[in-house]
Amino acid sequence: MADEQPIIVIKKKGGHAGHHGGAWKVAYADFVTAMMAFFMVMWLMNTTKPVQEAISGYFRDPNGTASKKGGSQDGKGSSALDPMKKEDFSKVKEQLMQQLQKMANFDKLKNQVSITLTDEGLKIEMREDSKGVFFENGDAKPTPILGDLLTVLSEEVGKLPNPVSIEGHTDSTQYANKGGYGNWELSTDRANMARKIMEAHGLRPNQVVQVRGFADNDLRDVDHPSAPENRRVTVLIQYNLANGDKRPGTVFNGTIGSIQAPPPPAEAAPAESPGSEKGAAKGPEKPEPAKAAAKE
């Protein structure tokens, strides 16, 4: 018995050396937070200056008492940011011109498109030529060139917090009597067609606050009432929210408005020579009357 060796039992524990306490979860959470912050910074760098100022104002004063904070139109589909200041519109003009110049065929349009700062806002004017570059002659059907142009504008204007109004204009050539359809209806339909294209390619819901038709009551070339450049569509990026157009002779009704024609004169207007608008009365050219007759 004395020679027997004692039995030694060695037990080995499997698994890790010790309990980690979930430290890896903390490290992973820090990594995800850092990535989220990185993408937020990248997004902010690509936004407009008013958006950056509004977000900066919120973080300085989360209670909403800072000068830069959200508006009171949440849930209405419109921008919750304050409109841009007038001094910022010069930069917007430059940005729009840079984007338009990237278009493949813009060299052919540079004489038909202008962007100017006015008392109302930033006006983008698209003027016709004798060949009808933007619309079919006498029709509200847009050409592919106009579609491409409005698409580029929509992508940029849709980033702005300001409201937009769209205007249609014709020349003084009388539209042929076609079931009561005349230059009033044509100018409004062209403006409304431009609205549809822009809203389908970048404008925010309810960013367009006015669609107006002026017929030939706001001629660009007063000395030549039948000149092609009087036929135009204008996109106006307004400085402030509009409560209707205050210009004489206009009536604004809801989202889509138009100028209402004055009562027709006692005598019918003489027929115009064929030319700029489809369906114009045929016949020998006659001198233009001193005052264009009102359209129905």
For residue 25, what pLDDT is reported?
87
- From CA 155, how far away is CA 145, in angstroms rounded? 16
The mean pLDDT value for 102-117 works out to 87
For residue 31, what pLDDT is reported?
92
For residue 17, what pLDDT is reported?
55
Looking at per-residue confidence, does 106 or 260 come out higher?
106
Q: Which of 50-54, 67-71, 132-136 has the lowest average pLDDT?
A: 67-71
Q: Which of 65-79, 97-111, 166-180, 204-218 has the lowest average pLDDT?
A: 65-79
Give the containing element (helix H, strand E) for 288.
Answer: none
Determine the straight-line distance between the first and last CA of the chain, rounded to whole angstroms.
Answer: 130
For residue 178, what pLDDT is reported?
67
> What φ, ψ does residue 247 adopt, rounded to 5°?
-70, 145
Rounded to the nearest 10 degrees, how much is the dihedral formed by the CA atoms of 108, 111, 112, 115? 120
The mean pLDDT value for 222-236 works out to 93
Q: How confident is the model at residue 56 (pLDDT cuts 50, 70, 90)?
A: confident
- In single-letter form, the type of residue at position 135 comes to F
Reply yes or no on whether the pLDDT at 283 is more than 70.
no
Token readout for 4 is 């027997």
